[in-house]
Structure 1
C-alpha cells in the first residue's frame, strides 16, 4: 500500500485483477467490495465460482458490494445489524489492514458471516473490521458467499455434479486471500479462519476439506459446528421449491433470484437450505485437521430462538414445550425438564429460560465439547456470559452477542441498543481483542487447553 498520506486519504494496492483504491482512517486502510470471483449470474448461478474478471485502470473499493440474495431476518438484524442491499454480483470481500506493514508481515483473520446459510453478509455493522484490525495488528477479511437455494440447493437435475456452492465460494475467497493478501501486508501462511453461527459451521467444514492446510493455519469458531443434510432430504427440498413455483426442477435455473428466495422462505421450516452430504462431502464430514482452535459459545445461546415480532415476552409452559420439541434432538421433554430443574433461582419461574437453557446445551455446548474431544489439534474453550442490557436482560448472553463486542462495533448505531448503559462492556471488548491478538500472532491463549477429563472453559463476563 502507498504510505505517507494524511488520515482519510486514498490508498492503492495491486491485486491479480487490477489496481484497487481504498481509503484510510486512524491508521487502518479499508478496501471494500473487492471481487474474488465472477458474478454468479445467468448460466453461472448454479455452478461453482469462476475467476474474478480483470479490470482496466483503478477500481474504487470504497463501498460495500452487494449482499447475496436473501429474505432478511429479524433475529440477525437485532444482534449484528442489517446487510446492505442484495444483488447478483455478491462474491466480494472486504479488507481492513493496518498501515505501514511490509508485504506479508501480519497474520490474517478471514471471517465468514452467520445467518443460518440464508441471511447475512460480511458488511453487517457488527463485522466492520477497522477496530479489530488495529487492535490485534492483523489484516481482517470478511466474505460474502451465496446463500439459501442459490448457495445450497442440491439436485442432479439442477446442479449436476456440483454441491454446496456457498462452500465453494468460501474456498474461492480463501484461495484469493492466499494469492493476494500479501499486497495488503498479510502473511498467506498465517491465516486464521473464523466465523459466527453458520459461518463457524462453514469454517469447521473448510478446515476438513482436502488441501485445507495450505489455506488455513488456525480456526476460531463462534457458536457453530457443522452438520450436513442427507442428499435425499436436500433433493426433496429442491423438488418442494419447484412445486411451490409450479415448474420442473430444471426450470429453476431460469427462475429469478427473488422468486427463488420467496419460495425458499415459503417451504421453511419443512426444508432449510444448508450444507449437504454430496459432492466433496458425499462421504460425510472428514476429520478436522490438527489446527489450533478457539472454540467459543455464549451462556444463553438459546434465547435467540425465542426472538420474534412480539419480543420481549414470557412463554407459557405449553409454548415452551412446543418450541422445545421443534428445536431439541432426542427426548426433548426430558431435556426441557432437566433444564428447568437446573435453573438458578432468579430464572426458575420463567419457562422461556428453561427452553433456552436446553437449547444452549443441546445445540451448542454438547457439540462444542464433542468437537473439542475429537480435534487432533489444541483447543481453547470460552463462553461469553455477559448479558445484553436490552429489554432488562431478556436476551441474556444470547447467540453471537460476543461478535460485535469482539469487533469493537458494539457502540455502532444498530448493535448499540444491546449494550445501552453497560460501561463495563468496554473492558470486556478490549480483553477479547487481546485474546485474539495472542491467538493470531502466537497461536496460543493464556488459559489451559480443553482436554477430555479436564474440560477448561474460560467464562467471559
Structure 2
C-alpha cells in the first residue's frame, strides 16, 4: 500500500506547476476552474480531477464557515491544497506509529488554517447526470484530509461512472473549540464545515457531470460518525439520498465531549486570561503552531457537543420515532459495516486481557471495574475458540465488538425496525501489500483502499483484486440505486467481503458471501447495557 500511495503522491505533484490549453475547464458558482485529465489502468475510461477547490472563504478562527469569495481569473485546480491543522499526540512512540500507519505520506500540500477545500473526480465519459459519492474522512476529529492519496477517487470514479468528492474540514481545537463564549450552535465547527461542503455540492456538482439529487454521503470512523450526525440531525433541506457508515456512528457515544476541559487547559498553558470572552480573544491571537504544539504534547481530546443542531441529544430516540415523525431524521437508505479486527492496532504489545479490561473499563467504572464483570467478559471470549488463539486476539475481538460491531448492529436493527432500507457489510481479509504489521488482520480503516482502489496493484493477490472489484461495485450499485441495495439481502443479512482471507493466502472462493447477523453478533448481548439506554 505504501508504494502505490507514494506513486500517487508523485503523480499529483507533477501537475502542480501549470495547466495547459487541453486541460478540462468547468464554470461553477465562484468562477472558472481548470483541472487535469488522466487515464486509469483498470478502467477503459479516463478521469478528470479538480483538486483543492475552495468550498468556503478562508476561515476565521473559531467562527462558522462562509461561502467562498468568487474569483475573476481561472482557478488552477490541478493540485491539492493544504490540509487542516493536524494533531498527532505524544508520547513519541505512539505519535510515530499513528503517522506511519494512518498518515504516510501525509497531505501533499502540508497544513494550514486556510484549508476548506475539496476534490472532485469525474469520469470523462458515461452518463451525464451521475451518482455522487461524498466522502468524509476519519481521524478521531484530530487528523486526516481529503487529499490523502488513500482517498484518491480516480479509480472508483472511472471504474463505475460515478463522481467522487473528498473534503477537508477543521479538526481538533480548530474544529471543536470549547469556549463558553461561543454559542453552543457554533462550537461544532467541523460539522458546520461538512454541511457547507455538502451544500456546495448541491449548487455546483452538475458542472462536473454529477446529479445533485443523487448524492450518497459516506465516511469512516469519525467520518462515519459525521454521516450518522447528518442522518439523525439532518440539515433542512436534506442534501443526500443515501448514506454509508464505515466502522463508526454517533448514535452511541460512551463519553461526552472533553472539548471544554481541553479548552481550559489550553487557556492555562498559553497564559491567557481565565475569564471569557477574554480567553477566547487571546487564544484567537496565538499562532496555530503554538496551539498545535500544546494539544499534541498534552494529548488533549476534542469532539462534538450535543447542540441539538448538528448533533442531536437524542439520536437513537429520533431514529426510533421517525416512522411516526419523519422529520426527526433523514429517512434515507443506509449501508453500514465494520472490519473483523477493528481493535488490532490498539493492543500492540499487550498480552494480559484481565489487566487490559481493568484499565479500559475505568471509563465506565472510575472506582474500578467489578471483578465479576471482568470474569464474565473473559468467559465470553475464551482462548482456544476460532480466531482467539492469543491474548492479543482476545483483546482485539473485545475492542472490535465494544467500539464498532455491537453498536453498529444495534443502529442497523433500529433502522430496519422503522422501515428504513438497511444493509450491512463485514470486511474480513488482509493482504501482504496492506498489512500494518504481521497479524494486523482486517484492521480499522483497512477496507478504505479496497473501496477506493488505492492499494498496491503490483503486489496484489488475485483475491485482493477480486475483493476490491466487488466492494467498489457494491458501493457504486448502492449509490446508483439505494432502494435496490448493494447486492445482498437487507438486515439481518450481512454481506461479507474477504471471508477470512489472510495475508499470503489465495482464496477466490471467499471474495464475498452473506451470513446472518446473529451469527456475527453473538457476544453483543454482553455489552447491551452500554448502548440500550
Normalised-by-shorter TM-score class: 0.7 to 0.9
Cα offsets for 1:90-129 (capped at 9, x unmatched): 00000000113565x1000000000000000001121000
Q: Alignment partner of 1:156: what SS?
A: coil
CA contact (8 A) 1:76 1:120 kept: no
Partner of 1:151: 175
Partner of 1:67: 83
Partner of 2:472: 433
Cα offsets for 1:231-287 (capped at 9, x unmatched): 78432221122122222332212122122222222333xx51011112624644353
Q: Judging changes above 3 Å, is the alpha-carbon distance between structure 1 residues 241 and 433 closer, same or farther for their aligned structure 2 residues?
A: same
Partner of 2:428: 385
Cα offsets for 1:126-169 (capped at 9, x unmatched): 10000000112110000000000100123222567512000000
Q: Alignment partner of 2:399: what SS?
A: helix
Q: Judging changes above 3 Å, is the alpha-carbon distance between structure 1 residues 360 and 228 closer, same or farther for their aligned structure 2 residues?
A: closer
Partner of 1:341: 382
Q: Separation in 2 of the partners of 1:345 and 1:215?
A: 44
Q: Separation in 1 of the partners of 2:254 and 2:64?
A: 19
Q: Alignment partner of 1:33: what SS?
A: strand
Q: Is the deviation greater in 210-219 or in 430-439?
A: 210-219
- The alignment status of 1:216 with 2:231, answered yes or no, reads no
Q: Judging changes above 3 Å, is the alpha-carbon distance between structure 1 residues 53 and 358 closer, same or farther for their aligned structure 2 residues?
A: same
CA contact (8 A) 2:453 2:468 kept: yes
Q: Judging changes above 3 Å, is the alpha-carbon distance between structure 1 residues 334 and 139 closer, same or farther for their aligned structure 2 residues?
A: farther
User: 1:50-449 counterparts in 2 under 5 A?
Assistant: 50-72=66-88, 74-75=97-98, 77-79=100-102, 81-84=104-107, 85-101=110-126, 105-158=129-182, 162-211=186-235, 214-226=238-250, 227=252, 233-248=258-273, 249-250=279-280, 251-268=282-299, 271-278=300-307, 280=309, 281=311, 283-285=313-315, 286-287=318-319, 288-306=329-347, 313=349, 315-317=351-353, 320-321=356-357, 324-325=360-361, 333-334=374-375, 336-338=377-379, 340-341=381-382, 344-345=385-386, 347-348=388-389, 350-375=390-415, 376=418, 377-389=420-432, 390=435, 393-411=438-456, 422-443=461-482, 444-449=485-490
Q: Alignment partner of 1:199: what SS?
A: helix
CA contact (8 A) 2:50 2:119 kept: yes
Partner of 2:503: none
CA contact (8 A) 2:428 2:497 kept: yes
Q: Judging changes above 3 Å, is the alpha-carbon distance between structure 1 residues 341 and 230 closer, same or farther for their aligned structure 2 residues?
A: closer
Q: Is the deviation greater in 164-173 or in 205-214?
A: 205-214
Q: 1:457 aligns with which of 494, 502, 506?
A: 494
What CA RMSD, in Å, does the superposition of the two structures yield over aligned residues? 2.7
Partner of 2:15: none
Q: Separation in 2 of the partners of 1:182 and 1:70?
A: 32
Shift of 1:327: 7.6
CA contact (8 A) 2:85 2:113 kept: yes
CA contact (8 A) 1:32 1:93 kept: yes
Q: Separation in 1 of the partners of 2:99 and 2:363?
A: 18
Q: Separation in 2 of the partners of 1:406 and 1:80?
A: 18
CA contact (8 A) 2:431 2:464 kept: no
Partner of 1:4: none
Q: Judging changes above 3 Å, is the alpha-carbon distance between structure 1 residues 298 and 282 closer, same or farther for their aligned structure 2 residues?
A: closer
CA contact (8 A) 1:298 1:385 kept: yes
Instruction: Return 5+ residue gaps in structure 1 as ranges.
Output: 1-6, 308-312
Cα offsets for 1:197-222 (capped at 9, x unmatched): 11111011012234355301000110
Instruction: Return 5+ residue gaps in structure 2 as ranges.
Output: 1-19, 40-45, 89-94, 274-278, 320-328, 499-533
CA contact (8 A) 2:353 2:395 kept: no
Instruction: With the length of structure 1 as denominator, give the TM-score of the two structures.
Output: 0.86
Shift of 1:300: 0.6
Name which one, 1 or 2, has greater alpha-carbon Rg: 2
Q: Judging changes above 3 Å, is the alpha-carbon distance between structure 1 residues 71 and 335 closer, same or farther for their aligned structure 2 residues?
A: farther
